[in-house]
Amino acid sequence: MANTEVSFVRTETLPPMAPPIGEQGIVKWLRENLFATPANGALTLVALYVIYVILSGSMPWIFNGVWNTSSLTECREVLDGTRGACFSVLTERWHQLIYGFKYPPDAYWRPNLTFVLMLVAIAPVLFFDLPRKMLIFTAIFPFLAYWLIWGGTIMTPIIALLGVVAGGFVYTRFVASNFAIGFFGAILAALVVWIIGGFMTPDTANENAMLQAVPSRDMGGYMLNLMLGVVCVSLSIPLGIALALGRQSDMPLIKWICVVFIEFVRGVPLITLLFVASVMLAYMFPPGTTTDLFLRVVIMITMFSAAYIAEVIRGGLAALPKGQYEAADSLGLDYPQAMRLIILPQALKISIPGIVNVAVGLFKDTTLVSVISMFDILGMIRGPILGGAAEWNGVYWELFLFACIIFFVVCYGISQYSQWLERRLATDHR
Amino acid sequence: MAILSDPPEGPFRLSMLLSDTRYRSLTLQAITALVLALCLAYLYRNISTNLQAQGLSLGFSFLQDPSGYDINQRLVEYTSQSTHARAALVGILNTLLVAVLACITATIFGVIAGVLRLSNNWLVSKLMAFYVEIFRNIPVLIWIIIIFTIMTNVMPTPRAFRGDAATSSMLFDLFAFTNRGVYIPGPGFSNPFFASVGMNWLLVIAVLVGSFFGARAIGTWATKIQEATGDRPTTWYMILGVWLLPVAILLTVMGLTWDIPALKGFNFTGGIKIGGPLIALWFALSIYTGAFIAENVRAGIQAVSKGQTEAAGALGLRPGRIMNLVVLPQALRVIIPPLISQYLNITKNSSLAIAVGYADITATLGGITLNQTGRAIECVLLLMLFYLTASLLISAFMNVYNASIKLKER
């Protein structure tokens, strides 16, 4: 018995066999993902056909494109009857699409530099890991950007900055004792500095300034879209916070003012607000004053996005557990302190993705200004380029493709950032 | 144990208005009211002085003046001799028309794309993700203008349909797609009950509403039988009859005829013309909003936990019934609220009609009427009032609907 030569059971493990050919590699993937059922296979074929139609239509057109002619007729001659795009409209008119048709060409470096600086200024706001010292630059950036884009005397942004610094100084000095004194004192201090500065600046300062002054009606193209988007979103966040807090207030009058404002603005289309800016707001300013259309549009778009941001932040405030409010009360904090130190940091964190979505929507909506005859990128395409001189009359695919790409890149980028942020801010364990 | 003590009694001092919580909110509100009143008074003064300087006065009597402009796309009778108020009515109906059409098609696009995006077919779901991302991230105004430009530049002119060497032909000899718009056969009555066309159609709609309640009654009756006996009677032929028979009889009695578009001279006549601007606006709003709705639908279906499907399967329900009875009712609860705001967005975005010259309320009242009469304040106010009313009505109606499908807990 001890010497068993014959065993009934295999003593060593067999090497695993390769899976059947239909269960591995690309065949398995194809079968599971594309041809699981007959209906699914039919769907795949339809999808393949759609892709084929799109690609076969667009690819020859794109790759056969002409990049260096000076008019449509010339481009058609080069193409000689074959299908192809006249991208030369972009190479010839790109500066109009980006900066508008009146911005002085030798000053194009100014918006470009501003754009780069904007990325630097915005980075510490978007990415929390960056050194906090960068926020100092973010604070200076608006004044610098104003000076770079509009040009003129450097006194204007410096005085504006000094006013803000004075206000900030008064605020930090008094906020510890009483929020109201600090807040209103800061506003007062800033106003005093601005008024004194306004008297000190000579009226002729703009004439021999370092940077040539450019009036805002000369700005256009994609630059105008970006400017409106950035300015209005940044202005509307504080306003939106104030409206959201006001809507939650115990004081009925303040609450109802905020509710009426928010619901009114959210109930009407942006285009009617832009009509208000272009035809109605002029009646509301004091007689004899003329205000910039850009400024009027900024006011209305800011109000518009503030109402939407207020609703997002209200959602954030409502999502906070009641215990947070009670904890703040039990620590003996008064309302401004509780909001500043306990409630808003948490509520804003919850609402950042929502705010980013509003920002994307708002940025897309800046194209609406072309309806009230401002020459943003869409206004440039429809106005001077397509409808103007005969050189490029009839080139619409190329121009719209350019506009689509330039908007898609920015909006898709921001929404990807928002999703990344949402994942990062998610503190619950899943 | 905490003992609450009354605030110290004492003579009223002025500083207590700010420091004492009993008075502070009143003080703040009084200040707010004062500031608000001052602002409004300042605005009022500015407006009245500015208007006086231009020799204008506020008033709505201009709405009764003849408008003097033509509108191509209209649902009610209108000539250039009609009043501005009538032009505004045409505009309102056009806004509602494009909003309703776009809501329906956007929902269809959105549901199809949202469901297909969840498909386990890799290619199809990627294609749908591509559609959603492309359309969501490009402004709707660009889409409207692109589609309008394609309509006017790529579609054949009516001239292309003419002669023996016609390069284009009508689809089934019924539909004509031209760069001026799409011509479709229009229904008419040879033996109408009422002189006005609208009244006849109202009658048809009334009959259809009656059929709807009839079909509902049959359903209730069948459920009652089912609860009593356990067997559900076959009702589909009854419901079909209730829907089709009355309306068929009415249409036959009134003598339904089809007015088919035909090429006369340089253009098509007869039938219904759906103008290029309307198609551009309708289609652009549908695909743009459809992309958003697709995301809502996807989120709604994903929000129903897998356990629900499995539980329903364990109860022995068939896949179709699982979808209808278990998944969809729960998914709808998540889908409906964002869907409402998408419908509101469509209504508001339809104001972009002005960019392609579709005569909606923004283009008539806020565009031509405003420019002709110079009544900026009145026109913009009326325009806002219309949109505000429409928005509030939609959200009120949808809130009622939302409340009816809300999760009812103990």
Tokens 């801010």, located at residue: A425
Q: According to the per-residue pLDDT averaged within each range, which of B64-78, B163-177, B331-345 is highest? A: B331-345
User: pLDDT band at residue A430, thresholds of 50, 70 and 90?
Assistant: very low
Q: According to the per-residue pLDDT averaged within each range, which of A281-290, B101-110, B204-213, B327-336 is highest? A: B101-110
User: What value of ipTM does the predicted structure carry?
Assistant: 0.86
Which CA distances in Å does B253 have to A117, B209, B245, B246, B249?
75, 19, 12, 11, 6
Residues 371-390, chain B: which have Cβ within 8 Å of A? 376-377, 380, 383-384, 387-388
Residue of A44, A245, A272, A363 to mutate when probing chain B, most B C-beta within 10 A: A272
Q: How many angstroms separate the first and last alpha carbons of chain B? A: 37
Q: What pLDDT, on a 0 to 100 scale, did the predictor assign at position A312?
A: 92
Quick one: closest CA in B to A363, which residue? B139
Q: What pLDDT, on a 0 to 100 scale, did the predictor assign at position B332?
A: 85
Select from B104, B72, B76 the least CA-distant residue to B92.
B76
Look at residue A234 and tell me whether its pLDDT is greater than 70.
yes
Which CA distances in Å does B8 have to A333, B2, B11?
21, 17, 10
The region of weakest confidence among A218-222, B103-107, B313-317, B394-398 is: B394-398
CA pair distance B259, B253, nearest whole angstrom: 18
A36 vs B120: CB contact, 8 Å cut-off?
A: yes
Quick one: closest CA in B to A405, which residue? B138
B388, B394, B397, B402 alpha-carbon torsion, rounded to 10°: -120
Q: Helix (H, G, I), strand (E, B), or coil: what is residue B233?
A: coil
Which CA distances in Å does B145 have to A378, B31, B156, B282?
9, 49, 18, 12
Look at residue A409 and tell me whether its pLDDT is greater than 90.
yes
Q: What is the pLDDT of residues A344-400, one digit of tens each?
A: 888 888 888 888 889 999 999 999 998 888 888 888 888 777 776 667 777 788 888
Q: What percent of chain B stands above pLDDT 90? A: 17
Residue of B43, B118, B375, B380 to mutate when probing chain A, most A C-beta within 10 A: B380
Q: Decide if A368 touches B, using CB distance below 8 A.
A: yes
Q: What is the pLDDT of residues A311-348, one digit of tens each?
A: 999 988 888 888 888 999 899 888 888 888 888 888 88
Rg over alpha carbons for chain A, rounded to the nearest Å, is: 30
Q: According to the per-residue pLDDT averaged within each range, which of A20-29, A181-190, A257-266 is highest? A: A257-266
- φ and ψ of B350, to 5 deg: -65, -15
At residue A414's C-alpha, the angle toward residues A413 and A417, to 5°, is 90
Which CA distances in Å does A185 have to A164, A168, B12?
12, 10, 26
Residue of B43, B57, B141 to mutate when probing chain A, most A C-beta within 10 A: B141
CB atoms within 10 A of CB A126: 14
Q: Decide if A279 touches B, using CB distance below 8 A.
A: yes
Q: What pLDDT, on a 0 to 100 scale, did the predictor assign at position B244?
A: 85
Residues 301-360, chain B: which have Cβ within 8 Å of A? 348-349, 351-352, 354-355
Homologous superfamily of the B84-153+277-299+334-405 domain (CATH): MetI-like (1.10.3720.10)
Q: What is the mean pLDDT of chain A?
A: 84
Query: Measured between beta carbons, which residues in chain B are less than 8 angstroms from residue A250?
Result: 25
Q: What pLDDT, on a 0 to 100 scale, did the predictor assign at position B287?
A: 93
CB atoms within 10 A of CB A215: 12
Q: Helix (H, G, I), strand (E, B), or coil: what is residue B262?
A: strand
Q: What pLDDT, on a 0 to 100 scale, did the predictor assign at position B7?
A: 58
Which residue pairs, CB below 8 angstroms and at least 24 apart, start in B354-358? B354/A271, B354/A371, B355/A370, B355/A371, B355/B141, B355/B144, B355/B145, B356/B144, B356/B145, B356/B148, B356/B276, B356/B277, B356/B280, B356/B281, B357/B277, B358/B73, B358/B94, B358/B98, B358/B275, B358/B277, B358/B278, B358/B280, B358/B281
Residues 103-132, chain B: which have Cβ within 8 Å of A? 116, 119-124, 127
Residues 57-76, chain B: which have Cβ within 8 Å of A? none
User: pLDDT band at residue B169, thresholds of 50, 70 and 90?
Assistant: low
B138 vs A411: CB contact, 8 Å cut-off?
A: yes
Q: What is the mean pLDDT of residues A69-77?
A: 79
A60 contacts A84 by C-beta, under 8 angstroms: yes
Q: Decide if A39 touches B, using CB distance below 8 A.
A: no
| Closest in A32, A50, A287 to B49, CB measured | A287
Select from A286, A236, A292 the least CA-distant residue to A261.
A236
CA pair distance B86, B350, nearest whole angstrom: 20
Query: Measured between beta carbons, which residues in chain B are less than 8 angstroms from residue A394?
Result: 153
**Smallest Cα distance from A291 to chain B, Å:** 14
Q: What pLDDT, on a 0 to 100 scale, did the predictor assign at position B289?
A: 94
Look at residue B339 and tell me whether its pLDDT is greater than 70.
yes
Q: What is the mean pLDDT of residues A297-308?
A: 92
B142 vs A403: CB contact, 8 Å cut-off?
A: yes
Residue of B52, B124, B349, B387 to mutate when probing chain A, most A C-beta within 10 A: B124
Q: What is the mean pLDDT of chain B?
A: 82
User: pLDDT band at residue B336, thresholds of 50, 70 and 90?
Assistant: confident
Region of residue B316 (phi > 0: left; psi between -120 and 50: alpha; otherwise: beta): left
| Closest in B36, B133, B383 to A272, CB measured | B383
Longest dimension (CA), chain A: 120
Residues of chain A with CATH 1.10.3720.10: 84-103+216-430
The region of weakest confidence among A336-345, B117-126, B151-160, B314-323 is: B151-160
B304 contacts B311 by C-beta, under 8 angstroms: no
CB atoms within 10 A of CB B77: 11
At residue B386's C-alpha, the angle toward residues B385 and B391, to 5°, is 100
Q: What percent of chain A stands above pLDDT 70? A: 95
Q: According to the per-residue pLDDT averaged within each range, which of A16-30, A141-155, B55-69, B87-101 is highest? A: B87-101
Q: What is the mean pLDDT of residues A96-107?
A: 84
The token duo for A72 is: 């449509």
Burial label for B61, CB within 10 Å (0-12, 13-18, 19+), is: exposed
Q: Where are the alpha helices (DSSP H) in B9-83?
A: 16-19, 21-53
User: pLDDT band at residue B1, thresholds of 50, 70 and 90?
Assistant: very low
CA pair distance A137, A122, nearest whole angstrom: 9
Q: What is the pLDDT of residues A163-222, one digit of tens each?
A: 888 888 888 887 777 777 778 888 888 888 888 887 777 666 666 667 778 888 888 889
A84-103+216-430: in CATH 1.10.3720.10? yes
What is the identity of the amino acid at B298? R
Look at residue B297 and tell me whether its pLDDT is greater than 80.
yes
Q: What pLDDT, on a 0 to 100 scale, did the predictor assign at position A99?
A: 87
Look at residue B3 and tell me whether its pLDDT is greater than 70.
no
Residues 176-195, chain A: which have Cβ within 8 Å of B? 180
**Smallest Cα distance from B253 to chain A, Å:** 44
Q: What pLDDT, on a 0 to 100 scale, did the predictor assign at position A236?
A: 93
Q: What pLDDT, on a 0 to 100 scale, did the predictor assign at position B171?
A: 66
Q: What is the mean pLDDT of residues B337-356?
A: 88
Q: Where are the alpha helices (DSSP H) in A34-131?
A: 38-63, 72-79, 88-99, 109-126
CA pair distance B363, A271, nearest whole angstrom: 11
Global pTM? 0.84
A115 contacts A406 by C-beta, under 8 angstroms: no
B83 contacts B67 by C-beta, under 8 angstroms: yes
Cβ partners under 8 Å of residue A272, min gap 6: B351, B362, B366, B380, B383, B384, B387
Greater confidence (A11 vs B192) lies with A11
| Closest in A40, A276, A287 to B50, CB measured | A287
A282 vs B141: CB contact, 8 Å cut-off?
A: no
Q: What pLDDT, on a 0 to 100 scale, did the predictor assign at position A63?
A: 83
Q: Decide if B136 touches A, using CB distance below 8 A.
A: yes
User: pLDDT band at residue A303, thresholds of 50, 70 and 90?
Assistant: very high
Element (H, E) at B268: strand B267-269
**Smallest Cα distance from A105 to chain B, Å:** 27
**Smallest Cα distance from B173 to chain A, Å:** 27
The region of weakest confidence among A151-165, A186-200, B182-196, B275-289 is: B182-196
A391 contacts A72 by C-beta, under 8 angstroms: yes
Q: What pLDDT, on a 0 to 100 scale, did the predictor assign at position B6?
A: 62
DSSP state of B9: P
